[in-house]
Structures are given as structure tokens and as C-alpha cells.
Chains A and B, each alone.
Chain A
């Protein structure tokens, strides 16, 4: 057997040393990933160096921004950041940008769109800082081992290949070889050793509980009945549901149907939870294509289950990638902050115009899946979820097929095939305007308070088309 001699990657013991090797002021387009979610320490650690050096004109490309990423806000306030390109933004930074904007602009991409932009050179990244929980001296890395493991490293794979300079940031450098590494050391320039890259517990924030809320339970029930009536729950079907409470309840209801009717799914994709793992291990689904782990059970599973497969963002949802997993997706279940009469969906801002999220894989999966289903309560508090025009378009209405609420279902008129299938069922199917009127009967039509004076950002679809602007509140 031929042994290929591999080169050790230069290991750097602190960030100051790193910037003796790289000109910090010339490399201001920098990226991070969010797999450690709210438990990530790397972004704050690296950006504190940029703050100390007072580097101006930074363009940030984090795959997502969580509330704990407070150094971003400090740099914005210190006038050091120009543009931010991301897929999701939430917390104090989001609130600040909503009120004040950026010197440049905020660009909201999709997960698949981000991968495509990096690969095609549209997002030009100078330095990718890649938090990596388990790294060897050759620069190979996986995310599902190590003391601060985070699971799949899917979103940073394009960065690890296409950024000008690639830096693995780890607290766990090992000597052994890594079988099937997610990150290939041949692409890596430096390994930066720090004390802690994050806290694994932080990845489970805010997700992964199956809802017990009666309205959520009813929405999930209506959804599984809809999918059944559409004939989608059959052998070899594929499914993506996310980690929201209602989505997970839909998954649970589908599981009950699958057991009862002896049905086996081909794959589940996207963000993976312990619940998905349970179904894999019970033989109800053949494969899990995992771009992001949402809980500790999912992380553990990657080590022990051969058919729990970590994939890159490009393999997941890059529209230019012929083999993107979601091209074969039958059903996707998604949420909505707002949905309008044309089925456009907003998950980027709330009804008061504050940034609270972003597409992530919303638009990617809605576009590719054979049937996309939005699950949402008809009203949140006193606010109807359906309105004439959403505050911000995250996903175009032409890619949304069904809206399921606790009081009934609306099907996009473009999907005449689905409407025909539901014609003689007992399901409560309405037009989206009729559903809106049911809500308005309780709430009336809320007054439009959206300001359109100053554009602070834009929503870029995976096609590169700008589908909406984001306005200053």
C-alpha cells in the first residue's frame, strides 16, 4: 500500500502570532460558521483582536449571527464593520442593525446561496476562521468529536476550500489520523490553538422540544392529515422538518403513521435532532443527511451511525450543484413569521420590522422540495399571520405550496394538482384570503406601521436575485 506523506499544518498558539503571519489590515473579508450556535466562543475571540487593532472596513460573512456574538455589535458601534453577509441574524446585533443600519449593507442569503456564492467567488472571503472541535496535525477535522463537539460542520466546508486563507480554530489537537474528515487538511493554512472554542450545551438553545401546545398539536395533526391525503407518506418518501416544536410534532405524527402502515422513508435532511436519530435507529428511515446538528443526541449519532451522514452546505442546497440533496426532497415543513396573499413568506423580520432570523435553508428547501408546507398558528397573540403583503420576503410565494394552520389549510392556486387531490377530502381547505378573514374576524386588520424610508439591507435568493429590501425601523 502506497503511503502518501502528508505535511503538518503550522500550529499557532495565539491569535497575536497569527497576525504576524497574515496582514490583518489587508484581509478584511472574514467568515465564521455557526455550528456552535449560541455556545460559540471563536467569533468573539477573533473579533476582539480586530477590535484591539482597530481594523476598519471589515466585511463579515458569518453563516449566522446568534445573540451571544456580541463582538460584532461592539465592532459595529466602533465603526469597524462595513458589510455583513449572513443567512440568519438574531439578538442584540439584529436589533441594533434594525434601528441604525450599517455603513455598508446587510445582505441576507440562503444556506445554499451562501455556498454557491463562495464557490463561484461572489462572496470573496480573505480569511475563514473555522471553529473545529477535533483536529489533527494534518489539518483534517470533524465536528462530532472532541470536548466541545458540535456535530456536522456542513456550513463551513465551502469556506474551508475557497477562502484565500483558511484557519482552523481548535481546543483539541490530536495526533491520530481522522477517517473521512469533514474538513480536508490539504486546504488548510493554519491551526490556531485556543483554550475553548465554545460550549457544546449552547447548540441546543431554543429548539428541539416537541410542542405540547394544543394549537401546535392541532397544526401538526392537520399537517400529517394533509400529507396523507396528498399520498405523500409512502415507501421511500423523503422529508425535512427542522427543529421547531410544531415541525417535530409533525415528525412524531408521521412516525406513528409510518409504524402503523409499515412505511420506510428514504432520507431526512437538514438540521438533525435526536428525534430523527431515533427514527433512523428504529429502521424507519434509511439515511440522515446532516448539515447541522440541533442537539447532543444528533452529535453522538454521527459517531455511531454509518447512515447518519454529515454533508456540506453545497451538497445540501447549492442550486448550482447537480447533486444537492434537497433536489430529491419530497416534503419540507417550514415555519413563517408572516405569509401574504401571494404565499410569500417572511422569517427574516417580525411584524414590527425588527430583524429576528433569516432564510437559513427556508427558501432553498421550499424551492426544491416537491411539496413545501408552512405550518403556523393563524394568529400570534393579537396579530394575524396572514397579511396582504409580508414585511420582508424571505421565500417567494411561487415556491410555497401549502399553509397549514389550526383552523384550516390553504393551497397555493399555482398547485392545481394538489387542490384537485384534496377536492373530496374532509380537510378544511380554504383560499388564503378566506383563512385571513377568519383571523381578521378576531383581530381586525392591523394598521400597517412599516417604514420604507431607508434601505439597510437586502434579501438575496439562492438564484442571486434580490427579492426584497430590508428597511430601517
Chain B
């Protein structure tokens, strides 16, 4: 139940050292795209030594390993599987790749849905063991389709929707694709709200300065928290399965939703 997932290059000590400073609920230490082939080993050594020495309670740490069909996959897992991390983010996800990873570790897995084929198989992916969330990788996905990314994001409307729906159905988190223009705060706000309105539960980012906006968008607002408090309070005071509040019908799904809002508010100290 994180709001924000921040990618940090695994070979950058200055970023790694500050991973708990950026206020992201979860950190994804990257071994894949942001680490060049000649630096893969130094990233592994750095992260292994760093996470052996330092532990973090307030932030969930994941590692994005290289894809299962790459020459780095086995070594990435081997070096990191005994570290105190929440789990792995798996690029170029497929059912087979997740099974491969599950043979090596019991840690949580966040598959990145970044191809049309992965999107077609998203329900099968969601059903795999240890999968805790689905992450949309829109850059590779649209590249494969040969279409352009836009601020309105109509081109990923279906992908976002199906990921949000599947994740919700299987009680997983759904993580939106990063907004790649790190200078454009207004664009990020629009993009994050688009994802939120489609039912995605969180958003990933590629720059620490994006975290604040993402956390704001994916956190319950003050009025939502107040309303949730009233709903839960009234539900506790009545024996009825359904009741009316301010003229609106409140039943079990609404009460459960209100409880989730309060759980989030508590977690994020709101």
C-alpha cells in the first residue's frame, strides 16, 4: 500500500546514501536500464555492502534486477537474495520469468508490464506466486506498439485500466508508469491524477523531486479522511448493515472503502 515508488540507480552512492530522505514510500534500486553493462558488478557490490550495514524501517526497498533472459539475472538475484529487502521488480515480465524468479527466491515480486504480450497475459501474471503489485512500463510498451506518448495519455488508457482492474481483482497494488519529464510539475500532477482516476493505487517516478506531488495525489484528502471517519463511526454505532448518512446510502463496500482510507491516513501520518 505505497503511494510512491522511486527508482534510484544502483551505482550512485550519493543517491543510495539518501534513499530514505526523499519521502518516497518505496524505493526501487535499479540494476537494469540506469546501470551500464560495465557497471553492473559494481552496483551489486555497492548495494550488497550498503544494505548489509544500513537497514530502513520507514521505506520499502525493492531491487529492479535485470530481466530473466539477460546474462545478469542470476547473479543479480544471487548477490541480493539474503539482503533485507521487500522484494524484486522484474522487467520484461512474463509468467515464465516470474516462475524463474520464484525458483530462486521467496521474496515479493513486482512485474513490469511493458509489452503488448505481457498486457494480454496480465491476469496470469497477477495470479503467480509472490506477485504483490503490477507496474506499468509505458515507455517500452508504446515503443513496441510504435506509438507516441502524450500528456493526455490516451495511448495508455487501456493498459492503465486493465492493470488497475486486474490488480484490484487480485488484491494487488497497481503502480503507474513514471512521468518522464522531470521538470514539468504541472504535467506530473495531471498525469498522476489521470492514473488515480482510473483506479491505479500508486505511481513510480524517476526523480526525487516528483515524489511530493505523487504522495499528495495518491493520499486521501483531508475531506476524504473526515468523511471516512464519520462513516466508520456511524457503522460502529448501528446494527444495521446499511444506513443513510447526509442522504447517501452507506453499505458494506462503502464502509470497507472508508476503513481503507483511514488505514492509509494512519500509515502516512495524515
Binding site for B on A (CB under 8 A): 212, 214-215, 217-218, 221, 379, 406-407, 426, 442
Q: Specify which chain B residues have a CB less than 8 angstroms from the CB of A217 in the assembled complex.
A: 208-209
Query: A407 vs B21: C-alpha distance in the bound complex, in angstroms?
Result: 6
Q: At the interface, yes or no: B22 with Cβ under 8 Å from chain A? A: yes
Chain A minimum-CB-distance residue to B182: A212
Q: Specify which chain B residues have a CB less than 8 angstroms from the CB of A406 in the assembled complex.
A: 18, 21
B18, B22, B207, B208: which has the most chain A beta carbons within 10 Å?
Answer: B18
A214-B21, A442-B17 given; 9 more Cβ-contact pairs under 8 Å: A212-B183, A212-B209, A214-B22, A214-B207, A215-B18, A217-B209, A218-B21, A221-B212, A406-B21
Query: A215 vs B207: C-alpha distance in the bound complex, in angstroms?
Result: 12
Query: A407 vs B23: C-alpha distance in the bound complex, in angstroms?
Result: 11
Scan B36-67; emit 1 where CB is below 8 A from any A CB, else 0. 00000000000000000000000000000000
Q: Specify which chain A residues have a CB less than 8 angstroms from the CB of B17 in the assembled complex.
A: 379, 442
Q: Specify which chain B residues have a CB less than 8 angstroms from the CB of A442 in the assembled complex.
A: 17
The secondary-structure label for the interface of chain A is helix
Binding site for A on B (CB under 8 A): 17-18, 21-23, 183, 207-209, 212, 269
Choose among A214, A379, A407, A426 the residue that contacts B208 (Cβ–Cβ < 8 A): A214
Q: Specify which chain A residues have a CB less than 8 angstroms from the CB of B18 in the assembled complex.
A: 214-215, 406
Looking at the assembled complex, report how far the CB atom of A415 sits from the nearest CB atom of chain B, in whole angstroms: 25
B209 touches A215 (CB 8 A): no
Q: Specify which chain A residues have a CB less than 8 angstroms from the CB of B208 in the assembled complex.
A: 214, 217-218
Closest 4 CB pairs of A and B: A214-B208, A406-B21, A217-B209, A214-B209
Looking at the assembled complex, report how far the CB atom of A266 sits from the nearest CB atom of chain B, in whole angstroms: 29
10 CB-based A-B contacts, threshold 8 Å:
A212-B183, A214-B18, A214-B21, A214-B22, A214-B207, A214-B208, A214-B209, A217-B209, A221-B212, A406-B18
Chain A minimum-CB-distance residue to B212: A221
Query: A215 vs B17: C-alpha distance in the bound complex, in angstroms?
Result: 11
Looking at the assembled complex, report how far the CB atom of A280 sits from the nearest CB atom of chain B, in whole angstroms: 24
Query: A218 vs B18: C-alpha distance in the bound complex, in angstroms?
Result: 11
Chain A minimum-CB-distance residue to B208: A214
Query: A221 vs B208: C-alpha distance in the bound complex, in angstroms?
Result: 13
Q: Specify which chain A residues have a CB less than 8 angstroms from the CB of B22 in the assembled complex.
A: 214, 218
Chain A minimum-CB-distance residue to B20: A407
A212, A217, A218, A407: which has the most chain B beta carbons within 10 Å?
Answer: A218
Looking at the assembled complex, report how far the CB atom of A315 sits from the nearest CB atom of chain B, in whole angstroms: 39
Chain B minimum-CB-distance residue to A221: B212
Query: A379 vs B209: C-alpha distance in the bound complex, in angstroms?
Result: 19
A212, A214, A221: which has the most chain B beta carbons within 10 Å?
Answer: A214
Looking at the assembled complex, report how far the CB atom of A226 sits from the nearest CB atom of chain B, in whole angstroms: 16
Query: A406 vs B14: C-alpha distance in the bound complex, in angstroms?
Result: 13
Chain A minimum-CB-distance residue to B210: A214
Looking at the assembled complex, report how far the CB atom of B4 sits from the nearest CB atom of chain A, in whole angstroms: 13
Query: A285 vs B269: C-alpha distance in the bound complex, in angstroms?
Result: 34
Query: A116 vs B17: C-alpha distance in the bound complex, in angstroms?
Result: 46
Query: A221 vs B23: C-alpha distance in the bound complex, in angstroms?
Result: 12
Q: Specify which chain A residues have a CB less than 8 angstroms from the CB of B183 in the assembled complex.
A: 212
Choose among B23, B207, B269 the residue that contacts A426 (Cβ–Cβ < 8 A): B269
Looking at the assembled complex, report how far the CB atom of A49 sits from the nearest CB atom of chain B, in whole angstroms: 48
Chain B minimum-CB-distance residue to A405: B21
Q: Specify which chain B residues have a CB less than 8 angstroms from the CB of A214 in the assembled complex.
A: 18, 21-22, 207-209
A215 touches B269 (CB 8 A): no
Q: Specify which chain A residues have a CB less than 8 angstroms from the CB of B212 in the assembled complex.
A: 221
Chain A minimum-CB-distance residue to B18: A215
Looking at the assembled complex, report how far the CB atom of A409 sits from the nearest CB atom of chain B, in whole angstroms: 14
Looking at the assembled complex, report how far the CB atom of A260 sits from the nearest CB atom of chain B, in whole angstroms: 14
Query: A44 vs B174: C-alpha distance in the bound complex, in angstroms?
Result: 64
Query: A212 vs B185: C-alpha distance in the bound complex, in angstroms?
Result: 12
Query: A217 vs B23: C-alpha distance in the bound complex, in angstroms?
Result: 12
Chain A minimum-CB-distance residue to B207: A214
Chain A minimum-CB-distance residue to B15: A214
Looking at the assembled complex, report how far the CB atom of B28 sits from the nearest CB atom of chain A, in whole angstroms: 16
Query: A217 vs B21: C-alpha distance in the bound complex, in angstroms?
Result: 11
Q: Specify which chain B residues have a CB less than 8 angstroms from the CB of A407 in the assembled complex.
A: 21
Choose among A212, A215, A426 the residue that contacts B21 (Cβ–Cβ < 8 A): A215
Looking at the assembled complex, report how far the CB atom of B188 sits from the nearest CB atom of chain A, in whole angstroms: 14
Chain A minimum-CB-distance residue to B211: A214
Query: A390 vs B17: C-alpha distance in the bound complex, in angstroms?
Result: 24
Q: Specify which chain A residues have a CB less than 8 angstroms from the CB of B209 in the assembled complex.
A: 212, 214, 217
Q: Specify which chain A residues have a CB less than 8 angstroms from the CB of B269 in the assembled complex.
A: 426
Query: A214 vs B22: C-alpha distance in the bound complex, in angstroms?
Result: 7
Q: Specify which chain B residues have a CB less than 8 angstroms from the CB of A212 in the assembled complex.
A: 183, 209
Looking at the assembled complex, report how far the CB atom of B137 sits from the nearest CB atom of chain A, in whole angstroms: 23
Q: Specify which chain A residues have a CB less than 8 angstroms from the CB of B21 in the assembled complex.
A: 214-215, 218, 406-407
